[in-house]
Chain A
């Protein structure tokens, strides 16, 4: 059988007349065998032909089920409409939430997560805090431990809500038997989320007012603000297991660790390069930026304490 290898459409036209002639089950018999032979002989042709033949075979089995040109037309029209709708939705969604940028923040692997968690709890030994760049774009978090990611903050936030539910459920208050109820869980979640939004909003506002030219995006700030949930979880869990003294000790440790972590991470991004290397540059701008960095870092332990002290009582 000679058929055109040149274009898939030619291939499709070649197949159409036999299908319309044979409407019965004989069509199932001969067409798949023809298609199988086609793909084997066209194995040397470019991959586009092979994919076209595969979709043709899938379309053919569906079409032979319906065996009606009108429904075939309707299906083709419907699938084109669906593709158009999907494109439109993607375009609109992309205007609000940059999805490809979000994907960068979730490109993590287990080793990165483990090392980053260790860094959040014990940042004192780490030497090099710079984010490596690769042709103007930051390297994915998978390859550079200093890059911020959204996986740990998102997971830590969800775990914090669950741990809050656990803490409220296992405690006895003098009014009810347990202080837990589903509404309280929702309230914890929304209040933590709202404090996060407020914190990121105030940070963005102060960065704008001080005209700091950094490459810190909003998502970076959300990531940095979300790292404190890890310390909160550690504090609350140890407080549940070992008692209030342990809660205070672990919270203190995690607070100091996250202050050091934030100062060292943000110093490179907010301050100018010379000041970040440790030289004291006496300019009002750099002083202001240093104050901003320290304020952001010091506000974290305050939040950590306020969002957890009512859970361990």
Chain B
């Protein structure tokens, strides 16, 4: 249970990478989690599945460019300092 702040940052980076890697048409649409499935009706209850799909899509859109920078920095730091 020995956690440092750095391990939390590493875990967060890995999780966000995992979400960003999910491809829209090759994978998500195949299992019915595509963007078109998310926008069900315009009822007042979005529902859990559409919220999740929204979350995945927004993470992929927003975090794509910062993740490039953060991943590069992390790789360089890991190579240098182990």
Instruction: List the interface of chain A (C-beta within 8 A of B).
Output: 187, 190-191, 193-195, 197-198, 208-211, 285, 288, 306-307, 310
Contact = CB atoms under 8 A, between A and B. Distances in A.
A306 B1 contact: yes
A268 to B, nearest CB: 22
A164 B52 CA distance: 40
Nearest to B5: A190
Contacts of B52: 209
A306 B2 CA distance: 12
Interface string B1-29: 11111011000000000000000000000
A307 B4 CA distance: 15
Contact of B5 (A194, A209, A211, A310): A194
A211 to B, nearest CB: 6
Nearest to A198: B8
B3 A195 contact: yes
Given A191-B1, A191-B3, A211-B46, A197 B8 contact: yes
Given A190-B3, A191-B2, A191-B3, A210 B48 contact: yes
B51 A209 contact: yes
Contacts of A197: 8
A139 to B, nearest CB: 31
B39 interface: no
B36 interface: no
Given A190-B5, A191-B2, A211-B46, 12 more contacts: A191-B4, A194-B4, A194-B8, A195-B3, A197-B8, A208-B51, A209-B48, A210-B48, A210-B51, A285-B45, A307-B1, A310-B1
Contacts of A209: 48, 51-52, 55
Interface residues of B, number: 13
Interface string B25-41: 00000000000000000
Interface of B: 1-5, 7-8, 45-46, 48, 51-52, 55
12 contacts: A187-B4, A190-B3, A190-B4, A190-B5, A191-B1, A191-B3, A191-B4, A194-B3, A209-B52, A210-B51, A211-B46, A288-B48
Pairs of residues from A and B, 7 with the lowest C-beta to C-beta distance, nearest first: A191-B3, A194-B3, A194-B8, A209-B51, A187-B2, A190-B4, A211-B46
Given A194-B8, A285-B45, A211 B51 contact: yes
A195 B4 CA distance: 10
Contacts of A195: 3
A304 to B, nearest CB: 13
A208 B50 CA distance: 12
Contacts of B46: 211
B42 to A, nearest CB: 14
A195 to B, nearest CB: 7
Contacts of A306: 1
A202 to B, nearest CB: 11
A307 B1 CA distance: 9
A198, A210, A211, A306: which has the most chain B beta carbons within 10 Å? A211
A211 B52 CA distance: 11
A310 B1 CA distance: 10
A191 B8 CA distance: 10
Contacts of B48: 209-210, 288
Contacts of B5: 190, 193-194
A162 B27 CA distance: 50
Contacts of B2: 187, 191
Contacts of A208: 51, 55
B3, B46, B48, B52: which has the most chain A beta carbons within 10 Å? B3
